[in-house]
Chains A and B, each alone.
Chain A
């Protein structure tokens, strides 16, 4: 009986990964859980230079979820390498490093800085999907051709596994996934947040001071699940499912839809111990249902005709 999973050539002790931007570099959540019990942690989205992020109100609650417009507040890739990477590595969880650029050159520079640390990094997560910054990210991630071109350029610069985290704010996520695959990505992570808005009817102003923000939480789960399945059908590389996953049953749904592993994000902000509880529940589930390998569930969805 095993809950071990592989995402391409990378092996994780279980499919539970903490999603970028919801767990910092692990330090805060380490007070609530033994990080070594997780499959992996995905770092806060890093930029080439430190970023203060957006000003003012950054969060608005929605039915079954939330909007955020943090805007990639992070210490920058150099400070990450100096003070955070070792912490993540020593936590005992797998290490996924999320990088977000303003331009192709930013991604190139960051990948070249991270490549020498491949002994401590399990995968790079190329964030082509943050909706809260004006340049790069989602702009690149909206075009299959732009994704393909950048990923294939980055492919030449590192042999670290490259996961491409896609935005749902596109006409066809299968097409952007295919672009990533054609460029040489090792896996697709889907989805990042959905662009949304909330309005204060008294002031007639957006609640978020960035006007718009990324929607996350259980409310996006059905969309994410459908997209994971679309991507699973469209490409041969593995898919890491993400979007509103909050329970063990959600994890199973995403795996059945085609995910090799999953990322938990917003739920951790509400219930910080939930990820490790789900790990324990997955073990029990496999035992009770005589499932030899949890990974055997991946892509076992049988569609109605």
Chain B
């Protein structure tokens, strides 16, 4: 039976004024969490908040998430002190599927870089050749730059400001990639909606298999309440779309199934 865990914050690494990596002690999530899955974490407000898992440490029985302040709930979570306890559900949702993946192209932006980091670590551990392209606003918010550089042999960044990597968004980089470089790549992208949409369209156009991790306002996180729906192309004839649950049916979907 799955449980609601009471977990303790064991480490907080502040990345910037409104962003931190939080590490919690929880053997079950450390053991079972997969790239692309998320946890639903309590804050001082009524509903829990969903966060993609950034990494797990099976030896220390911990998992980490990246949190960026977007509202009052995330603000409270970032303000938490080490030792503070939370309630948590997880790991939740369907993560990325790596079966049969020969080569990976991971694309991250915004808080999407945190689950992308997990996918990159997984690729490294499992010997899957992997390229990561992260889009940042500027050098000052190029979070996890060093950590990505450590685990990826092939890591590129773009910045809107142009002060690190290629100037522009991730598309500016992706469009420079040759077909040979891209051949047999599976694309996994996590970031703002517009970025995932653009990368999806590009990847589909290139004939690459592509997965996105969608984000929606959630309540239960376990598929019971139906508030976090995504529009997914219907298989049934005569029907344009179906509403799938981001939390339970996703958050990872095949790019070609998504109606943006």
Contact = CB atoms under 8 A, between A and B. Distances in A.
B87 interface: yes
B1 A34 contact: yes
A73 B229 contact: yes
B124 interface: no
B46 A63 contact: yes
Nearest to B222: A28
Given A28-B248, A52-B243, A58-B229, A23 B46 contact: no
B2 A271 contact: no
B80 to A, nearest CB: 18
Interface in A57-90: 57-66, 68, 70, 73
Interface residue tally of chain B, by bracket?
A: 20 to 34
B220 interface: yes
Nearest to A29: B224
A196 interface: no
Contact of B220 (A44, A63, A73, A272): A272
A53 B244 CA distance: 11
B1 A33 contact: yes
Interface residues of A, number: 35
A64 B46 contact: yes
Interface in A6-65: 21-24, 28-29, 31-34, 44, 52-53, 55, 57-65
B226 A217 contact: no
Contact of A70 (B87, B225, B248): B225
Interface string B195-230: 000000000000000000000011110111111110
A268 interface: yes
Query: Looking at B48, B218, B226, B229, which has the most chain A CB atoms within 10 Å of its CB?
Result: B226
Interface in B233-249: 241-243, 248
B4 A273 contact: yes
A70 B218 CA distance: 12
B101 interface: no
Contacts of B2: 31-32, 272
A1 interface: no
Contacts of A303: none
A218 B89 CA distance: 21
A61 B45 contact: yes
B51 to A, nearest CB: 16
A270 interface: yes
24 contacts: A21-B225, A24-B224, A24-B226, A31-B2, A32-B2, A32-B3, A32-B222, A34-B1, A58-B228, A59-B47, A59-B227, A61-B45, A61-B46, A61-B47, A63-B46, A65-B46, A73-B229, A269-B47, A269-B219, A269-B220, A270-B47, A270-B220, A271-B4, A273-B3
Interface of A: 21-24, 28-29, 31-34, 44, 52-53, 55, 57-66, 68, 70, 73, 217-218, 268-273
Given A28-B248, A59-B225, A59-B228, 5 more contacts: A24-B226, A32-B4, A58-B229, A59-B227, A70-B226
